[in-house]
Amino acid sequence: MITFPPDYLSVDDLTAAQLIGLLDLADELKAERASHHAEGTSAVRDDLAGRTVAMIFEKPSTRTRVSFQVAVTELGGDPLPLSSAELQLGRGETIGDTGAVLGRYVHAIVVRTFGQERIVALAQAADVPVVNALTDLEHPCQALADLQAFREAHGSFEGRTLTYVGDGNNVANSLLLAGAKVGLSVRVAHPEGYAPDTTVVARAEQLAADTGAQIVVTTDPVAAVAGADAVYADVWASMGQEGEAEERAALFAPFQVTSELMSHAADGAIFLHCLPAHREEEVTAEVIDGPTSRVFDQAENRLHVQKALLATLLRRDG
């Protein structure tokens, strides 16, 4: 079993060996689940039997909420989904107090929130594992699913390149760290003023110096995509940025992933997107619905990597 830190708040919490170990376990769990489904038998395990996992969502969610709830259930545990409106968080209780109390009731806490400082405060107060299900700074569980989808398509990370095109947001930040950790070169092409977090980029460059990966941040989408093994897009306006959508649409138009842009990638390149997608905005329907797209494999992998993560965090010998 993988030696693991107490929480998963950032991709940078894990070593390369821990990341690869999680992906290997996710592959095993995915194959096991597929085998059960083919046989018409139950995929439920007992890794989390008798365990309750609280899931706090301060932002809307489809894939994250459903995949975590199914993950806990299929590991034999009890998921407890909660919105901030259902908690005293909605009436001003601090997130630290919420974490301290929930930590006395449940065995782990999954949190989708706003600033990274909120999940750090909760984790410091809660004496149980805490998982980052998305903050404004990072989306580390998504990065695990992205790595699994990339490895399924290409078999390895070393000597390969993933290019992210669009807003340098939480997804881009986690991809930079994840790629640098495992030796996968990551390029981010963004409009002026929408670069990834500078601290994250500096940390990714530091990590890449040890793994041989290359980190490139540029405003030239064609140069960024040239020779890439995967091209990744995300919505131009994330949750909470809807008021900027019109302004962003004009700025981001040259960064739309089209068949023409994909033609600059390597032979066998795949298209990735964390979803939800807006066809004909950040990506054309021809690309996302075409033969190079792996977006639904990628979305499915959220379930498998999160099962691997929870099973490891709550392993009974720990």
Q: Which strands, in side-by-side order, build the sheet including 130-132? A: 78-83, 52-57, 108-112, 130-132
Chain Cα centroid distance, residue 147: 9
Given the residues 248, 302, 304, 306, select the one marked as catalytic: 302
Of 139, 151, 203, 294, which residue is the catalytic one? 139
Residue 142: active-site member: yes
Active site residue 234: yes
- Residue 146 bears catalytic tag: no
Catalytic pick from 229, 274, 294, 306? 274
Catalytic residue among 142, 148, 298, 306: 142
Cα torsion 98, 103, 109, 113 to 10°: value is: 20
Query: Catalytic residue at 274?
Result: yes
Query: CA 57, 61, 25, 178: dihedral to nearest 10 degrees?
Result: -90
Active-site entry in 33, 63, 65, 112 = 112
The counts of H helices and E strands in the chain are 12, 9
Amino acid, single-letter form, for residue 188: V
Q: DSSP string covering 2-49, please?
A: ----S-BSSGGGS-HHHHHHHHHHHHHHHHHHHHHHHHT-----STTT
Q: How far apart are the first and last CA of the chain?
A: 10
Determine whether 107 is an active site residue.
no
3-state secondary structure of 307: helix
Q: Which two tokens stand for residue 275?
A: 């979803």
Instruction: Supply 295's token pair.
Output: 């977006």
* The one catalytic residue among 33, 234, 273, 306: 234
What positions carry a catalytic annotation? Answer: 112, 139, 142, 234, 274, 302
